[in-house]
Amino acid sequence: MKDTKILHQFDENNVIHIIAESTSEGSYCPSCGTISKSEHSKYARKLSDGALDGFSKKITIIVRKFKCKSSSCSQKIFTERLPFAAAYARITNKVIELITFLALTISAERLSCIMKKLGISISHDTILRLIRKLPKHTVAIDDSVKNIGIDDFALKKRKKYCTLICDMDKRMILDILPSRNKEAVADWLKQYPQGRLVSRDGSISYAGAITEALPNALQVSDKFHLVKNLLDNINRYVKRKYPKNLIIPKNKEEIVADC
């Protein structure tokens, strides 16, 4: 760990505990960028580095608070920033990078369970927050993608709907769009002109976006809506074909009696 001195290290219950302190001469104020070497106080910050190399590590690092010497800065006291962990984070950057990468391929719920096995306690809600912080177009365009799946989901029940787009052959998430907007979906699909099939729900917006971006692609209903539409049509047919007061015989005797 850069600019860090290890003071003590010990093993306990298959966990490596590391006690360290920052050795940097000063730190930049996060508000104005002025470097300060004037210490105000110290405190112990706890971090988890998981078990990515086979050993779960818990880090306790003594960090300092500095006084900002800029007279025009509103922040008088600030905590030094660490090169291997973001401000306020409880896990290292290395672990966050791994979680963010895996979160684009599997569900947040499943990833939360996997990380727990690796010694990292992180909720699925926190994983979703990490995904939302990703910059736009973090996933490189894959020319091999031919069959695309589109569906919506709500960040909060009945509020703020987003669009999830996946590669149906590899069963991998390609991107997450912050809305169900037709223009946004169409612009995204135009990056994949080789797309030949798109699975979607009954949304008119999605249908219009696919037609605009990939006019030659085959649009199909996803499995859930395919079964739902089938059952709805069967129900309508039965109601139209047979009277409401139709009585279905329970056994052979009733059938014979009616004859």
**How many structural domains are present in the chain?**
3
In a domain, 251, yes or no: no
Is the residue at 70 inside a domain?
yes
Domain end point (choices 67, 102, 134): 134
Q: Find the DSSP H helices in 83-201.
A: 93-103, 108-117, 124-132, 182-189
Half-sphere exposure of 226 toward its Cβ, with a 13 Å CA cutoff?
7
In the block, tokens 């699975």 appear at 199
Please give the distance of CA 221 from its chain centroid, rounded to a whole number: 25
Check whether residue 152 and residue 186 sit in a common domain: yes
Whole-prediction pTM value? 0.50
Residue 137: its pLDDT value, please? 53
Residues 44, 121 within the same domain: no
Q: Give the CA angle between residues 236, 218, 147 to the nearest 5°.
A: 115
Amino acid at 11: D
CB distance 20 to 60 below 8 Å: yes
List CB contacts of 196: < 8 A, sequence separation 6 or more: 146, 147, 216, 217, 218
249 in any annotated domain:
no
Average pLDDT along the chain: 84
For residues 128 and 109, membership in a common domain is answered with yes
What is the spatial distance between Cα 32 and Cα 76, in angstroms, rounded to a whole number?
A: 11
Same domain (yes/no): 82, 105: no
Residues 172 and 235 in one domain: yes
Say yes or no: 100 and 78 in one domain.
no
Residues 115 and 195 in one domain: no
What is the pLDDT at residue 175?
85
pLDDT at 172: 82
- On whether both 100 and 80 belong to a single domain, the answer is no
Q: Flag whether 210 is in a domain.
A: yes
| Domain residue limits at 181 | 147-241
Residue 248 maps to a domain = no
* CATH number, domain with residue 192: 3.30.420.10
Domain identity same for 7 and 80: yes
Domain presence at residue 219: yes
**Shared domain check, 69 and 14:** yes
**Greatest CA separation for the chain:** 102
Q: Are 18 and 3 members of one domain? A: yes
Our CA angle for 244, 250, 251, nearest 5°, is 145
Extract the residue ranges of the chain whose pLDDT is less than 70: 1, 51-54, 135-141, 247-259
Alpha-helical runs (H) found in 160-258 = 182-189, 204-213, 223-241, 252-258
40-49 confidence digits (pLDDT tens): 999 999 998 8
140 occurs within a structural domain: no
Q: Do the domain assignments include residue 257? A: no
What are the distances in angstroms from CA 56 to CA 18, 87, 98? 11, 22, 15
